Chains A and B, each alone.
Chain A
């Protein structure tokens, strides 16, 4: 089975500071045919549906603040929140969609220190 492993499981960051979440896939999600990484990041707040933040590993969805940035290629990826705001408290998931199953990471809970 293809496994997506996020680290850390949780982190507490001061307002205005940087938050970094890592995601590692047990298999590459880089397509040789189009050179795209089939990797997305989601934000999930309690009582609300998840929200797509980033896809193709680094393409920010329209309307997502530019403090959210995705990077990486192949098997190792990072979501960075450059200056944490109170409204960013949530669980963040990476997800591979290169082929099925579209596996999610276990989630990283981000809180305010």
Chain B
């Protein structure tokens, strides 16, 4: 079964750090672009970052550039999101997603992990 499972969410203080991890199973991980999408409480969906299949190309939404970094390990079928200098506005449920193999939409989503940034 094709599956993504996030971990690493929790409570962090403003200015602190968290590292989210996503473990993939049931598909050939190293041919897919992977991304993170978040949803703040009561808000809509917001794409955060993606990494290409080889891990050589990454993109970020402006609001996290310089603070977040996305990494993938194709030997372990994982994609991580390192989040530094956290702000209250980073509070959200974070979803790990897979892009379709033909570079379409995001066809597989994990259940999500919750990040709360608060003192």
State the A residues within 8 Å of B (CB): 38, 40-42, 44, 48-52, 54-56, 59, 61, 91, 93, 95, 97, 100-107
Contact = CB atoms under 8 A, between A and B. Distances in A.
B45 A55 contact: no
B78 interface: no
Interface string B60-77: 011000000000000000
14 contacts: A40-B105, A42-B105, A44-B45, A49-B109, A49-B110, A50-B45, A52-B106, A55-B100, A61-B107, A95-B45, A100-B50, A100-B59, A102-B50, A105-B44
Interface string B98-119: 0110011111011110000000
Give chain B's interface residue range (CB within 8 Å of chain A).
Answer: 20 to 34
- Tell me the dominant secondary structure on chain B's binding face: strand
B58 to A, nearest CB: 10
Contacts of A38: 104
Interface string B10-36: 000000000000000000000000010
B46 interface: yes
A54 B62 CA distance: 27
Interface of B: 35, 37, 44-47, 50, 59, 61-62, 95, 99-100, 103-107, 109-112
A42 B61 CA distance: 20
Contact of B104 (A59, A93, A100): A59
Contacts of A54: 105
Contacts of B35: 102
Contact of B47 (A49, A51, A101, A107): A101
A5 B65 CA distance: 24
Considering the complex of A and B, which 9 residue pairs feature the smallest CB-CB distances, nearest first? A40-B105, A55-B105, A49-B109, A55-B104, A102-B47, A100-B59, A104-B45, A107-B44, A52-B107
Contacts of B59: 100-101
A101 B62 contact: yes
Nearest to A104: B45
A56 B102 CA distance: 10
Given A42-B105, A61-B107, A104 B62 contact: no
